[in-house]
Structure 1
């Protein structure tokens, strides 16, 4: 069974979409989508599937991020997001920053600056 056969039968015979689907043992929705695509484009080849969206950071922004990471090696992901936004105007989420740093093979501390300051103050009090 080929899609071209379905189109040929549809055009040559007086047959409903439901009967056509039963005849070729496919879903009615498949026939509807196939006919719609054929009527709009006169082409029944499969459409291109998926693909990932373009990355948010390109060339210069990626270089800027590397510079930020190297000059702030103790910054958290959230802090890196803030620094990147200040420098480039592009805002990325913490999880996106985590993926980017993994791809760049950089490790980032998990502690936030507030918790580091709290730890420093509590250790100073103990001394």
Structure 2
């Protein structure tokens, strides 16, 4: 994800817009930004009086936190030949949190552990 435009650039755009140095499209060409950026910046400036960029919106919250990694490590120690599905069900029984096989795989990788890839009957 690219970094937000600098506050200096944003302020220069607003100053140029307020002093009527061109249309929004002309300002976009002059400052080499998109027209949608100009529109959003002007709207934000009118609504809040700020030109600074908005903070990052965040992301998905991890289902397996660092404090829960010990539970997974214990499960692998108890049953080293367990497959990921078995670890998922064991983790759900101990913590009450159901996770996918992919999530469990990432947690096991984070712990630098290995698991059995498939069951051979």
TM-score (norm 2): 0.75
Q: In the alignment, is residue 67 of structure 1 matched against residue 74 of structure 2?
A: yes
Counterpart selection for 2:102 from 87, 95, 98: 95
Mark the runs of 5 or more structure 2 residues left unpaired by the alignment: 1-7
- TM-fit CA distance, 1:14: 7.8
Residue of structure 2 in register with 1:20 after alignment:
27
- TM-fit CA distance, 1:51: 5.8
Larger CA Rg, structure 1 vs 2: 1
Provide, for residues 38-72 of structure 1, a one-character-per-residue CA deviation record: whole Å limited to 9, x for no partner.
23432222334476544222254322222212111
User: What pairs up with 1:1-127 in 2 under 5 angstroms?
Assistant: 2-13=9-20, 15-49=22-56, 53-112=60-119, 115=120, 118=121
Q: Which ranges of 4 or more aligned residues in structure 1 deviate by more than 4 Å?
A: 49-52
- Larger proportion of helix: 1
Count how many residue pairs are aligned between Structure 1 and Structure 2. Answer: 114
Provide, for residues 55-113 of structure 1, a one-character-per-residue CA deviation record: whole Å limited to 9, x for no partner.
2222543222222121111100111011111221111111111111111111101123x
